[in-house]
Amino acid sequence: MSLRLGDIAPDFTAETTQGTINFHEWLGNSWGMLFSHPADFTPVCTTELGKTALLKDDFAKRGVKVIAVSVDDLASHGKWVPDIEEVNGVTVNFPIIADSDRNVATLYDMIHPNASEKATVRSVFIIGPDKKVKLTLTYPASTGRNFTELLRVIDSLQLTANYQVATPADWKDGEDTIVVPAVSTEDAIAKFPKGVTVVKPYLRYTPQPNK
């Protein structure tokens, strides 16, 4: 059964390119991004893991730990990592889970038989410090993910968690946010000193609170 938003992200113990980890212990109090790639030594995956390494500082400043997974074994990962580093001019600075027994892929429903009976699809799970799933995305093997969008979503999720605001369509960091419906207009005016613009009783904008 697939995971739903708000579910506790399944815990597991696995071998990775950075040693054995227990997932929940490894996350600690951080946000996390667990993402699968279909297979080692494939072109799109090589660009994706390279991009993840390039964005190390962007994830770090958001307090997000990243970890990749595929159903290849540790030896395969070890042989592939130099290719990722050479092609992208990076150092792979995050763990890659070896999931040859498909334990993680099964827990997170990453194998979609009608797409591939063996390889994982491109799944993304954003997990909060409370270990709950905050976002899921699934891409086909042929489409590389938009990492700018993943960072944008993380920014939005963290704003909601910390400030009781949501983000409108096409929102970018620094733009106005929306007061969540649970906060009354009266309370919003007191809560957001930068101002509240009421467009409709249910649509109230306020400048991004942490800017």
Report the catalytic residues: 45
Name the one residue in this structure whose structure tokens are 């994982």. Answer: 120
C-alpha distances (whole Å) from 158 to each of 145, 162, 206, 211 are: 20, 6, 16, 13
Name the one residue in this structure whose structure tokens are 């939005």. Answer: 156
- Radius of gyration, alpha carbons of the chain: 19
- In this structure, are residues 84 and 49 in contact, taking their beta carbons and an 8 Å threshold? yes
- In this structure, are residues 123 and 110 in contact, taking their beta carbons and an 8 Å threshold? yes
Spatial distance between the Cα atoms of 177 and 197, rounded to a whole number of angstroms = 10
